[in-house]
Amino acid sequence: MKTIQQAGYSITVRQQEASHYSKKQNTIDIDQNELTYCSDHHNSDTLLMSQNSILFTSNNRLVDTLCNKIIQLINDDTLTKTSYSKLLSKTLNYNYTYLSNLFSSIKGTTIQQFIIYHKIERVKKLIVKGEHNLTDISFELNYSSVAHLSNQFKKVTGLSPTQFKIARQMRPASDS
């Protein structure tokens, strides 16, 4: 029996002889979910790795879908006041805590930090575009106030939105 930790999961593998025909019964416990299969002595490790790869590929796909959905929500001009956690849970049909833990284990950052980063990227694009003032932008992206947007902007970029706008205006046209 061996146990490994990968992507936030505890994986335990047990092997036992299934019959006298050189077959092994392999049991994999992944956070108490059991998967049992039989294989010959030569292919057991390959099959085990492929079973783990299926699990982790599936998780990566879910996180990619989650990232795409977040970016889509941020770029949606009709974003509602509903919290991201509720929207993501409902849209992807998973418990938010599960999504959050999976996301953090794969991406190395929280969903909230990912959202903040992409909201600030959207703010930067809107500032450069020059069609909206900060009040409009903060309202459009569901910030509670212009001050909240400005504080997050400065934490992420190191500049206030005004400093960012001035710095962008001072750049030569070829840098845009």
11, 96: one domain:
yes
In total, how many domains does the chain have? Answer: 2
9, 72: one domain:
yes
Contact by Cβ (8 Å): 132, 126: yes
What is the DSSP secondary structure assignment for residue 174, as one 8-state letter? Answer: G
Contact by Cβ (8 Å): 63, 102: yes
pLDDT above 70: percentage of residues in the chain: 61
pLDDT above 90: percentage of residues in the chain: 32
The domain boundary residue, chosen from 108, 126, 150: 108
100, 123: one domain:
no
160, 143: one domain:
yes
Per-residue confidence at 121, pLDDT binned at 50, 70, 90? very high
For residues 48-77, average pLDDT = 73
The domain boundary residue, chosen from 60, 87, 108: 108
Nearest to 39 by CA among 53, 51, 23: 23
Task: Give the domain range for residue 26.
Answer: 2-108
- CATH code for position 158: 1.10.10.60
22, 75: one domain:
yes
For residues 86-96, average pLDDT = 89
pLDDT greater at residue 75 or residue 80: 75
For the ranges 55-69, 108-122, 127-141, 142-156, which has the lowest average pLDDT?
Answer: 55-69
97, 13: one domain:
yes
Provide the pLDDT for residue 126. Answer: 92
Provide the pLDDT for residue 39. Answer: 44
pTM of the model: 0.64
Mean pLDDT of the chain: 75
66, 143: one domain:
no
For residues 117-134, average pLDDT = 92
46, 130: one domain:
no
56, 127: one domain:
no
Per-residue confidence at 16, pLDDT binned at 50, 70, 90? low
Provide the pLDDT for residue 62. Answer: 87
For residue 154, give Cα distances in angstroms to 65, 116, 159, 176: 29, 12, 5, 21
Provide the pLDDT for residue 17. Answer: 53
pLDDT of 61 over the 80 cut: yes
